[in-house]
Structure 1
Amino acid sequence: MGASSYPLVDVADAFVAEARACERALHFALDMGFRKVVLEGDSLTVIKKLNSIVADRSVLSPISQHIRVLAGVFEEVTYNFVPREANKAAHELAMVGRNLKLPYFWVEEAPSSVVEVAELDHQEWFHQC
């Protein structure tokens, strides 16, 4: 349906980057008008924190709290862990985004390299079923 890339500055570690990416994904879904969202990420730690009802006291706490507020706007938000090998398109989009200085949004399209990798992901998944 679309894709976005948003430059992150002063990111403490990979967990914070992944949590910020989840946050940006919800903003994008809201802007696109989606009511039900499945958010997939390759950081098991972040996905567990988002699925947990226990108060988070880590450095991710302010981000995860903001994600919960954003999620409240939707009819439904589901958080799923997906290994990077199973979603290479998301990794490719992140690599494309590293070269962009400003936020960038694609509606009903994506960068060609991301589309190519997504098609390969889909073919691999289809052949496994």
Structure 2
Amino acid sequence: MFPESDQAGIRVVVRNQAGQGMAALSKRIQKPNSAEIFEALATRRAVQFTLELGFKQSVFEGDSEVIIKALDNEVFSSPSVGHIVKDIWSMSGLLQIKSFSYVRRQGNSVVHALTQRARFSFPVLVWMENVPLDILRFVSSDFPSF
């Protein structure tokens, strides 16, 4: 969320199994009433983007432990985001294989770089089959090597 304005930035990076950037999305939205709502909206947009791209299998990583646990366990009691979580469950049901994984905010420099770009860009930017050069270096550094 951008503290200096009434807007926030949703950012999504799609990688293949080798960690290469396949697509990215950066979108400005009106700032929601809470960080929890924001994280739920960002996760819903990630699932929607994955479906729009035609992928059938996906691992979704997010830095909101509360939202990821709710999606992973399919149990959530907060009325402020419960309807968004249900929407995510419904949309992600269209995928053959899916999982939700929590990652610490400090470990996701791609998201941080895309946030900075969203702050000063058009309302929505999408990159297909490549990622901008200024973001590409973060894609490689964030991918765990096994």
- The verdict on a shared fold, with TM-score over 0.5 as the criterion, is yes
Identical-pair percentage: 28
Larger proportion of helix: 1
Give the aligned residue type for 1:20.
L
Whether the 8 Å contact between 1:19 and 1:46 is mirrored in structure 2 is yes
Q: CA deviation at 1:61?
A: 0.7
Matched residue count: 125
Q: CA deviation at 1:85?
A: 2.0
Moved more, 108-117 or 77-86: 108-117
Query: Which residue is 1:111 aligned to?
Result: 132
Structure 1 distance, partners of 2:69, 2:76, is 12
Q: CA deviation at 1:4?
A: 0.6
- CA deviation digits over 1:26-64, x for unaligned, max 9? 111111110011100011111111112334333111110
Any stretches of 5+ residues in structure 1 without a counterpart? none
Q: Which has the higher contact order (CA 8 A, sep 6+)?
A: 1
Query: Which residue is 1:48 aligned to?
Result: 69
Moved more, 20-29 or 56-65: 56-65
Q: Does 1:2 align with 2:29?
A: no
Query: Which residue is 2:112 aligned to?
Result: 91
Larger proportion of strand: 2
Structure 1 distance, partners of 2:83, 2:112, is 25
Any stretches of 5+ residues in structure 2 without a counterpart? 1-21
Give the aligned residue type for 2:130.
E
Whether the 8 Å contact between 1:5 and 1:93 is mirrored in structure 2 is yes
Whether the 8 Å contact between 1:8 and 1:17 is mirrored in structure 2 is no
Structure 1 distance, partners of 2:72, 2:43, is 13
Whether the 8 Å contact between 1:35 and 1:76 is mirrored in structure 2 is yes
Root-mean-square deviation (CA, aligned residues, Å) is 1.7
